[in-house]
Structure 1
Amino acid sequence: MRTYSFFRQTTCLALLTTVLGVSACRKEADVVPDDTTTAAENRVVNDWILENMQDLYYWNDKIPANPDKTVSPDTFFESILYGYDAVARPDGDRFSWIEESADDLSASLSGETRTTGMEFTLYRRAQNSNDVIAQVVYVLPGSPAANAGMKRGDIISKVNGQTLTTTNYVSLLFGNLTTYTFGLATVSSQSLVDSDQTRTVTATTFQEDPVFLDSVYTVGGKTVGYLVYNQFNPAPNGSNGTEYDQKVDAIFSEFKAKGVTELVLDLRYNPGGYTSSSVNLASLIGRGIDASKVYFREEWNKTLTPYLQKEYGDSFFVQNFVNKSQNIGANLQRVFVLTTDHTASASELIINGLRPFMTVTTIGTATYGKNVGSITVTDESGKIKWGMQPIVFKSFNSLGQSDYASGFQPNVEVEEPLSLLPLGDTREALLNEALFQITGSRLARRSAPENNPLPGIGSSIERKINGSGMFKQFKMNKL
């Protein structure tokens, strides 16, 4: 095994395990002469991929012995993964990925992407129909979509005059278009009716603020804090600070000042992100926790584990809570977490990591099921432009539990309806249920019907799940 020096960055030390965005420095790649063939160019990149994966990959013992290094790097990367198969490899990898641009990879992990500024869920327009609709679930403030008047609950049935279908929705919604003219439909007596309303939106590079909404409700003699948090991200792309974590701290400081005794944490659209931000949030919520208590621990591959233990001790694998003056745990007996199948990775870490310390009640639908974490691997010499995000560890809470690869089933099942109310509206289905669980009485009628009858076929948030997750931040240098 090659020898490495692992050290956590200063910001990571200050946060007691700041999350991921890791770069891996390996031996410098040889410069490929201009007259070499594509196969030779591929081999240089693929050698770099293989060496890193043999050392770091959680399933490194499953890497094929003689992979074809002449194929394109993305094809090569996929060929060496221990790929998931429901029957043959139910413990397999669903989450490692590679991108041709390490810079683009880093930006996307920090919430900066080329986007219209909205997320949506995709449904067949009716049972057995080939027509498709996109239901907007949230719109980022200040984004092109928000400026065009798009809002949560809008239903898109056409793009640039073309009806969405199962054969064209990928190219129309996720292709290389810059300007979109969305044709809208409305719900009438549980049927979808196309309207003459359109919204024109031009995609741009946009930084998402993960802190979407916060509020405090006084209901049934209880003071309820509510936070909609859509990605575990400490700071905007290009920042080495913790601006977004500090924004969350300020919200909990207000919760504490207002005497919040119940908490509703809305993670229904949160696909994960940096573990440092997950530690930060959990440390604001946990009851009876401090920096001596384990939030989660990591299991790395059998090749790397002995080396890391020798160099850094068992503490390398342990992520403790941190001491936060804004912590409201002393006033909480429980926390309610709103979930869907978009709730993944660092969001599930919150659920799993807090359960040994307090009651965590999940409301909504089953979570995604991602109990593994990754690091960002790049070539700091700059000669190889690719970046990859391989799975390198599995997470366990302080009780040694990691049994959510199939997701957490909700304690109280509530589906999002076809007609969506604004997030934060006490009549909104999931929040309304949480307030009912807190007070024992309905504050408002829930929107009807409570179930969406349309068959789901995907979501724009899936790209964030596959391109996000649970990231750990540290730096590796070859000695």
Structure 2
Amino acid sequence: MKVLLVWRPALLLAVSATVFLTSCKKTEEVSVAPSNVSSTTAATGAVTDTEVNDWILQNMQTYYFWNDKIPANPNKSLSPDQFFTSLLNTYNATSNADGDRFSWIQASAETLKASLSGQSKTTGMQYKLYYRDNTKTTVIASVLYVLPDSPAARAGIKRGDVISKVNGQTLTGTNYSELLSGSGSDTYTYGFATVAANGSVTDTDQTKQVTAIVFQEDPVFLDTTYTVNGKTIGYVVYNQFIPGVYKSDGTTDKTYDLKLDNIFGKFRQKGVNELVLDLRYNRGGYVSSAVNLASSIGKNIDASKVFYSQKWNPTAAAAYAAKYGANWNIQNFVTKSTNIGANLSRVFVLTTNSTASASELIINGLRPFMTVTTIGTTTVGKNVGSITISDNTGRIKWGIQPITFKSANAQGFTEYGSGFTPSVEVKEPTIAMKPFGDLSEPMLSEAVFQITGVRAARRAASVEIDRPFIGSSLDEKAGGGNMYVNDTPLGRIH
């Protein structure tokens, strides 16, 4: 799917499906079809909304974390997306702060699975949108990052660029969504602007044309090492927890997990004794990849130590306990030859309000074993996870991603629903951002300072002025970008 900028709640995309569960070690289809939907024989005729809604309700009653909050007599005459929403324990900051902010439904289960594995139709860039000034008339897009080898990268677009026009039209508060979503076209001609030392924005004549394609994201964006004041610092920019490349049969390989293993193997060989993990735009992903990463970082950990545990609803918990035994909800670390924990006493994690879910699981899961210092701004606060549910017969095309569990670390700490407040607050610039890995980039610079006591590079002069924030294209990644997908063996009931 292309990057859309129709701003909406992070819960809802619009989908529905039967039961497909992912798990840390492999994925598996599960037969929990509604009683009036055959899971073994091919049905004839079009699937009705009522049939889909029966299927949604059956699975939500079984797996949904707040299944005791589902209405007794939901309205099955609604469209599937509306029906799914009607079942949710809706979040309210005042009256229901522990409610559901993250479950979603999507009209294509196959698109859902692909997007969770980093594959989507995209230009390959992500950005934040701001009004140019307090008049709230014209809009600019500040490019956060560009995926290597993507159409945007090949066109020469880079982090820190400022887009002010699309297809010759100036972005405004009334047209930016339509222009940036393409209005049915996958080709965009972007016009750019420059930013003066006083923060003022000026349009230029520069344009670049980009066509969106179906693209597989490599989440391991950058890795490098620095030697500063006697410290050997490893630095990794990691944008999504996905094991590997999404394949046509709906599975993924281990390409990206293995890439991380190789990086930490190099860190180990180089004697890295400080680590900066850049998760500023990482909205989450698969538990298996979180376990893999944490197991290369944790100090004094092995396969006997608890990384995190899961709490499910009583219905699902009883079924899992009967099938898998008393420790069914415990996920331990794994033993890895690439672990650098013996050389570390702490880890620094760069965070923003786009850091969520499996990224927060890393922070919470490592804290019982080492000091985790967060630098940046407060994280999202997603201490819950989900499973992917789809119809293994293929008759129902919808896919759902309901919240099914809450996580806790080895010390039992689970209450981070308001996010992790940074140990050191550093706000990322709205525009004119430095490249990843540049030692004058504010968040990395602060991490190096905290490690070494010296500024590795002088900060550039600020060009910041107050710009009203609109939203981010990151919000249009799968599930509003807040992913924490249970792909462990805990998600299997037959």
TM-score of the pair, normalised by structure 2: 0.90
Task: Tell whether 2:273 aligns with 1:261.
Answer: yes
Cα distance change of structure 1 residues 60 and 366 upon mapping to structure 2, 3 Å threshold: same
Mean CA deviation greater in 450-459 or 139-148:
450-459
RMSD: 2.0
Inter-partner Cα distance in structure 2 for 1:321 and 1:7? 25
What number of residue pairs does the alignment pair up? 463
Do the aligned partners of 2:21 and 2:389 also contact (CA within 8 Å) in 1? Answer: no
Deviations 1:86-111 (A, max 9, x none): 11211111111111111101100110
1:373 pairs, out of 385, 391, 398, with 385
Task: Give 2:305's aligned residue.
Answer: 293
Task: Give 2:208's aligned residue.
Answer: 199
Cα distance change of structure 1 residues 477 and 318 upon mapping to structure 2, 3 Å threshold: closer
Inter-partner Cα distance in structure 1 for 2:383 and 2:441? 29
1:127 to partner: Cα distance? 2.2
1:8 to partner: Cα distance? 9.2
Inter-partner Cα distance in structure 2 for 1:444 and 1:141? 26
Inter-partner Cα distance in structure 2 for 1:25 and 1:109? 22
Mean CA deviation greater in 125-134 or 199-208:
125-134
Task: Give 1:137's aligned residue.
Answer: 144
Do the aligned partners of 1:22 and 1:376 also contact (CA within 8 Å) in 2? Answer: no
Cα distance change of structure 1 residues 389 and 135 upon mapping to structure 2, 3 Å threshold: same
SS at match of 2:400: strand
Inter-partner Cα distance in structure 2 for 1:8 and 1:141? 31
Q: How does 1:428-467 map to 2 (within 5 A)?
A: 428-449=441-462, 453-464=466-477, 466-467=480-481
Task: Give 2:58's aligned residue.
Answer: 51
Cα distance change of structure 1 residues 437 and 25 upon mapping to structure 2, 3 Å threshold: same
1:178 pairs, out of 170, 183, 186, with 186
Letter aligned with residue 306 of structure 1: A
Do the aligned partners of 1:235 and 1:242 also contact (CA within 8 Å) in 2? Answer: yes
Letter aligned with residue 471 of structure 1: V
1:252 to partner: Cα distance? 0.2
2:487 pairs, out of 465, 470, 473, with 473
1:166 to partner: Cα distance? 2.1
1:477 to partner: Cα distance? 6.9
Deviations 1:34-53 (A, max 9, x none): 4x7xxx81000000000000
Task: Give 2:239's aligned residue.
Answer: 230
Task: Give 2:9's aligned residue.
Answer: none
TM-score of the pair, normalised by structure 1: 0.93
Unaligned 5+ segments in structure 2 are 1-18
Inter-partner Cα distance in structure 2 for 1:367 and 1:296? 19
Cα distance change of structure 1 residues 77 and 305 upon mapping to structure 2, 3 Å threshold: same
1:421 to partner: Cα distance? 0.9
Letter aligned with residue 311 of structure 2: E
Inter-partner Cα distance in structure 2 for 1:334 and 1:354? 9
SS at match of 1:151: coil
Task: Give 1:3's aligned residue.
Answer: none
Q: How does 1:401-420 map to 2 (within 5 A)?
A: 401-417=413-429, 418-420=431-433
Do the aligned partners of 1:275 and 1:472 also contact (CA within 8 Å) in 2? Answer: yes
SS at match of 1:408: coil
Q: How does 1:15-54 map to 2 (within 5 A)?
A: 17-18=24-25, 23-27=29-33, 29-30=37-38, 34=45, 41-54=48-61
Cα distance change of structure 1 residues 66 and 8 upon mapping to structure 2, 3 Å threshold: closer
1:121 to partner: Cα distance? 1.0
1:450 to partner: Cα distance? 8.0
2:67 pairs, out of 60, 65, 78, with 60
Q: Percent identity?
A: 57
Deviations 1:9-61 (A, max 9, x none): 8xx6xxxx437x66442237257754x7xxx8100000000000000000000
